[in-house]
């Protein structure tokens, strides 16, 4: 989960890390008021949880007196990074030097990335002079102590009075990275003022979704909820049923997918696309106990106006009983009044309690339950053909 800058900076203040004064406004009037309070030059930043805002014109340095009119231009803009509905107003910083500082992960280790060439051109620095960027793994059992951070910054070329302060800040930021269960923290720029004071002017934080459960203080920012109503439905089911999350992402096609086990889902999706089919969504659900999340994904598929068919394609299950999935299907078919003669449903679902699952599918009626041993590619072909047929018979557009 990417945090917006207002929240990221609020958290950094809690760790006694230096960030400029700032606050968020939703109207141009409010932005003008905040700017007047800070006075002088202010930064207006579109509150979108992404990077590259500077390059997209979504960060503007303006005189406080002009803030309201500039905010009027920015608010309501639909950009490639999202809709601008809030602006972060920040006191202008005195910047003599810009550094880059980030914590992230490689596959197996936390990583520190630093450079004395921070700022918006950091990607170019990386491309042109990679040696100006120092990347080192951090031993997660030992952490990053101040003197180690000082040594690393010295290797990156930082000298003089700033070295000690930057080293200590880096070590403190490591603690924040761990305590917040962040997957990534990027400070760009980390500004050094003419007087030698540090300020984390650009602060991006990405929290590890897998750790949100132990951070109730982070888990409920309304801006993080998906906009799509069906994605939101699945999101809500995840929130009210702890344990392995169901994922549901809508796409532009017409084939609804309830696939599980990660691998089989990816592979079937590739096969469908290769056969000329277009999935209406991707999903990944754990076959773990409880059907609430499976039903949420099924409800989403059935209520998505674009989907015309459904493939339930699981790996050969080794641990979980398959009849639970068909139970969820029966409930969702009934709840959504699905007419299986116009909405083909194909099941590739093998494993423990398959006999019970097949009997239950028979009772729903109109379902194609592929014979045991049918391969993933045969399943993909079956749903692509069934969908083609139903679209040919009943036409494109709204389903009946």
Partner 1 sequence: MSILIDKSTRVVVQGITGNQGRYDTQLALNYGVNIVAGVTPGRGGEEVEGVPVFDTVAAAVADTDANAAVLYVPVSGVCDAVTEAAEAGIRVILATTENVPRHDAVRAVAAARNAGAWLVGFNTNGVISPGKCKIGGIGGDNPDALYPSGRIGVVSRSGGMSAEIAMALKASGHGVSTAVSMGGDRTTGRSMCEYLELFEADDETDAMVIYGEPGTGNEAEVAAAIRSNRLRKPVVAIVAGRFQENHPRGVSFGHVAAMIGDEADSASAKIRLLKESGAEIASSLDEIGQALERRLG
Which residues ranging from 312 to 331 are in contact with partner 1 (CB under 8 A)?
Answer: 314-319
> Which of 25, 119, 41, 33 is CA-nearest to residue 75?
25
Is 351 one of the binding residues for partner 1 (CB under 8 A)?
yes
Rounded to the nearest whole angstrom, what is the least distance from the CB of residue 14 to partner 1 in the complex? 18
Rounded to the nearest whole angstrom, what is the least distance from the CB of residue 51 to partner 1 in the complex? 4
Rounded to the nearest whole angstrom, what is the least distance from the CB of residue 317 to partner 1 in the complex? 7
Is 23 one of the binding residues for partner 1 (CB under 8 A)?
no
Options 264, 298, 328, 383; binder of partner 1; rule CB under 8 A: 264
Options 233, 267, 364, 391; binder of partner 1; rule CB under 8 A: 267
Angle of helix 323-335 relative to helix 292-303, nearest 10 degrees, comes to 40
Give me the count of residues in the chain: 400
Is 271 one of the binding residues for partner 1 (CB under 8 A)?
yes
Options 83, 128, 266, 359; binder of partner 1; rule CB under 8 A: 266
Is 81 one of the binding residues for partner 1 (CB under 8 A)?
yes
CA–CA separation, 311 vs 267, rounded Å? 13
Residue 20 C-alpha from the chain's centroid: 26
Stretch that binds partner 1, among 16-24, 32-40, 257-265, 330-338 (CB under 8 A): 257-265
> Which of 146, 137, 139, 135 is CA-nearest to residue 172?
146
Task: Annotate each residue in 154-173 with x if it binds partner 1 (CB under 8 A) or - if it does not, as one string.
Answer: --------------------
Options 129, 193, 334, 375; binder of partner 1; rule CB under 8 A: 375
Is 356 one of the binding residues for partner 1 (CB under 8 A)?
no
Stretch that binds partner 1, among 32-40, 242-250, 291-299, 335-343 (CB under 8 A): 242-250
CA–CA separation, 20 vs 202, rounded Å? 10
Nearer to partner 1, 139 or 339 (CB): 139
Question: What φ, ψ does residue 41 adopt, rounded to 5°?
Answer: -85, 135
Q: 309-325: buried (b, 16+ CB within 10 Å) or exposed (e) per residue? A: bbbbbbbebeebbbbbb
Stretch that binds partner 1, among 18-26, 64-72, 329-337, 372-380 (CB under 8 A): 372-380
Rounded to the nearest whole angstrom, what is the least distance from the CB of residue 337 to partner 1 in the complex? 30
Is 200 one of the binding residues for partner 1 (CB under 8 A)?
no
List all residues 6 or more positions away from 322 whose beta carbon is below 8 Å from its beta carbon: 287, 314, 349, 350, 351, 352, 353, 354, 357
Kindly calculate the radius of gyration of the chain based on its CA atoms and give it in whole angstroms: 26
Rounded to the nearest whole angstrom, what is the least distance from the CB of residue 53 to partner 1 in the complex? 9
Task: Annotate each residue in 208-237 with x if it binds partner 1 (CB under 8 A) or - if it does not, as one string.
Answer: xxxx-xx-----------------------
Is 263 one of the binding residues for partner 1 (CB under 8 A)?
yes
Question: What φ, ψ does residue 134 adopt, rounded to 5°?
Answer: -105, 125
CB 198 within 8 Å of CB 165: yes
Which residues ranging from 86 to 115 are in contact with partner 1 (CB under 8 A)?
Answer: 100, 102-111, 113, 115
Which residues ranging from 28 to 57 are in contact with partner 1 (CB under 8 A)?
Answer: 50-52, 55
Residue 133's DSSP bridge partners are: 115
Rounded to the nearest whole angstrom, what is the least distance from the CB of residue 268 to partner 1 in the complex? 8
Please report the DSSP string for 251-305 in residue order: -SSSEEEEEBSSHHHHHHHHHHHHTT--BSEEEEB---S-SHHHHHHHHHHHH-T
Q: Which of helix, strand or coil describes residue 121?
A: coil
CA–CA separation, 255 vs 251, rounded Å? 10
Rounded to the nearest whole angstrom, what is the least distance from the CB of residue 274 to partner 1 in the complex? 8
Residue 397 C-alpha from the chain's centroid: 30
Options 20, 146, 244, 290; binder of partner 1; rule CB under 8 A: 244
């Amino acid at each position: 989960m990417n945090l917006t800058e207002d929240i990221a900076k609020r958290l950094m203040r809690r760790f006694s890390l230096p960030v400029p004064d700032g606050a968020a406004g939703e109207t141009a009037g409010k932005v003008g008021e905040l700017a007047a309070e800070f006075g002088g030059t202010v930064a207006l930043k579109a509150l979108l949880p992404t990077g590259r805002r500077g390059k997209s014109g979504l960060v503007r340095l303006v005189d406080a007196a002009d803030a309201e009119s500039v905010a009027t231009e920015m608010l309501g803009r639909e950009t490639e990074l999202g809709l601008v509905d809030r602006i972060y107003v920040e006191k202008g910083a005195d910047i003599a030097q810009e550094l880059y500082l980030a914590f992230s992960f490689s596959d197996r280790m936390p990583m520190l990335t630093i450079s004395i060439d921070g700022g918006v051109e950091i990607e170019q620095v990386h491309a042109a002079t990679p040696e100006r960027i120092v990347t080192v793994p951090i031993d997660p059992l030992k952490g990053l102590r101040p003197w180690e951070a000082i040594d690393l910054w010295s290797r990156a070329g930082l000298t003089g009075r700033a070295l000690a302060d930057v080293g200590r800040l880096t070590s403190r930021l490591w603690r924040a990275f761990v305590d917040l269960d962040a997957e990534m923290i990027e400070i760009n720029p980390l500004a050094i003022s003419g007087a030698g004071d540090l300020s984390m002017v650009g602060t991006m934080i990405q929290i590890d979704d897998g750790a949100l459960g132990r951070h109730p203080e982070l888990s409920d920012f309304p801006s993080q909820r998906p906009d799509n109503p069906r994605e939101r439905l699945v999101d809500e089911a995840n929130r009210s049923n702890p344990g392995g999350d169901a994922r549901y992402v809508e796409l532009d096609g017409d084939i609804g997918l309830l696939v599980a086990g990660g691998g089989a889902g990816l592979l079937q999706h590739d096969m469908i696309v290769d056969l000329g089919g277009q999935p209406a969504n991707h999903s990944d659900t754990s076959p773990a106990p409880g059907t609430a999340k499976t039903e949420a994904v099924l409800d989403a598929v059935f209520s998505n106006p674009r989907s015309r068919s459904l493939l339930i394609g699981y790996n050969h299950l080794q641990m979980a009983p398959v009849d639970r999935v068909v139970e969820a299907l029966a409930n969702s078919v009934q709840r959504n009044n699905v007419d299986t003669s116009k909405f083909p449903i194909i099941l590739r679902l093998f494993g423990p309690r398959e006999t019970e699952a097949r009997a239950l599918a028979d009772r729903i009626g109109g379902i194609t339950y592929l014979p045991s041993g049918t391969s993933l590619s045969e399943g993909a072909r079956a749903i692509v053909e069934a969908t083609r047929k139903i679209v040919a018979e009943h036409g494109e557009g709204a389903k009946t």
